[in-house]
């Protein structure tokens, strides 16, 4: 008898809950397309395209400079860091450090975006999982560009890295006059030779 009463109580409770759920669903129901959604079109299988995932490139890398390389004919800028240009102090050293990291390795580049110069920006990793951006920062030959990395690589910077890579630091801070002055001095020095 007790079991029958218990089961009937559970059944009554379940029915009441079900009614409340249905009542609330009716009350909250909205039209599928509101007047503000008039510009939206219904899903069409024939014209639908899959959302592009971040492309991943794998292969050997040809190094351009300390933060740029080429994989499978695609020029790639390392994500979140800034290394000196080839004709700037430590520029050649940065390039050769990246060459030695990539030599004989298959590099995997996950493209995240495209920069203002049309290069793919990518998170690049070696076969053993090391992040090339992080490795260049740890070597003191690149600095974190927090505008793009969110400060991810800043803790890895050597204490004197921003002094040593002062031109890259000036560019990040928008002090292009420092950059232009260096370039003008360099060109004037080349003309005398």
Cα 88 from Cα 57, distance rounded (Å)? 29
Active site residues: 77, 85, 119
Cα 29 from Cα 70, distance rounded (Å)? 54
Tokens, residue 106? 């298959």
Helix (H, G, I), strand (E, B) or coil at 26: helix
Cα 100 from Cα 151, distance rounded (Å)? 26
* Phi, psi for residue 44 in degrees, rounded to 5: -125, 115
H-type helices in 29-125, by residue range? Answer: 91-102
């Amino acid at each position: 008898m007790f079991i029958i009463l218990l089961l009937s109580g559970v059944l009554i409770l379940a029915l009441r809950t079900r009614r409340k759920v249905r009542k609330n669903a009716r009350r909250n129901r909205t039209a599928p397309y509101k007047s503000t959604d008039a510009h939206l079109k219904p899903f069409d299988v024939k014209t639908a395209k899959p959302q592009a995932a971040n492309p991943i490139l794998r292969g050997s890398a040809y190094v351009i400079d300390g933060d740029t390389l080429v994989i499978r004919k695609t020029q790639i800028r390392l994500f979140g860091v800034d290394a000196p240009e080839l004709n700037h102090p430590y520029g050649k050293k940065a390039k050769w450090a990246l060459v030695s990291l990539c030599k004989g390795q298959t590099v995997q580049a996950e493209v995240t975006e495209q920069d203002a110069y049309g290069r793919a920006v990518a998170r690049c990793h070696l076969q053993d999982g090391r992040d090339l951006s992080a490795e260049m920062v740890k070597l003191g030959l690149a600095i974190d560009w927090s505008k793009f990395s969110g400060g991810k690589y800043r803790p890895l910077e050597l204490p004197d890295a921003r002094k040593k890579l002062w031109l890259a630091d000036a560019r990040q801070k928008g002090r292009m006059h420092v950059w232009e002055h260096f370039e003008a001095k360099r060109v004037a020095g080349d003309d005398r030779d």
